[in-house]
A = this chain, B = another copy of it.
Amino acid sequence: MARIKTDINVSRKEVIVAKAAILFREKGFKAASMRDLAESVGVEAASLYNHIKSKTELLHELCFGVANRFMQKMEEVEQEKIPAVGKVEKLLRFHINEMVHHYEEVYVSDREWKHLSDPYLSNFQNQRRIYRKRFATIIEAGIRAAEIEPIDAPTAVLIFLHAISGIESWHRSKQKISAEELENNMITILVDGLYPRK
């Protein structure tokens, strides 16, 4: 009988959630079966239910885990006393780092949240909307302070967030540039368009 191996301070549930992230990322939530997951954990499908309540619970864990980290960072950045462009840059660097180092979870949270069911679904959508609003507010403050080129802030947010989710392709690509190069390139391209033209 093959037990789920756990490092110290890592519950079996966390092991399952982590494997689920990998699987959901590569097949999609619907296409990934509990039997697939079981195999990748090294156990029979039914055994998973000793640790989790349902397949959807796995998605909850992933989505809200990610959402909470982003919200917390937003809180932190908002309170700093620095120019708006600096705040934007900090948020972008955070996004990029999350995407690079917690690829699977972030990706799944971004693409598969549709399969959440109420009340989690509405809750998640709400959090997303609020996050974007707060991001846009930062940009708008920067525009009013003439630190940022006058652009439509919601559009900018939309571009930023989706641009970063493109790191997915970077992960897949054969000839990768380094993570730092990637980060700095992205910041250059995204942020340099913000400064007002002289």
Partner of A193 from B167, B192, B198 at Cβ < 8 Å: B192
Complex contacts, A111 vs chain B, CB 8 Å: 111
A170 within 8 A of B: yes
Q: This chain: how many copies in the complex?
A: 2
- A173–B153 alpha-carbon span in the complex (Å): 14
Number of interface residues of A (CB under 8 A): 39
How long is the Cα–Cα vector from A27 to B31 in the complex, in angstroms?
12
Q: Which residues of B contact A198 (CB under 8 A)?
A: 198
Q: Which of the residues B156, B161, B170, B185 comes within 8 Å of A151, measured between beta carbons?
A: B185
Judge if A181 is at the interface, Cβ distance under 8 Å: yes
Give the shortest distance, in Å, between A93 (CB) and chain B (any CB): 15
A binding-site residues for B, Cβ under 8 Å: 27-28, 30-31, 111, 114-115, 149, 151-152, 154-156, 158-167, 169-170, 173, 177, 181-182, 185-186, 188-193, 197-198
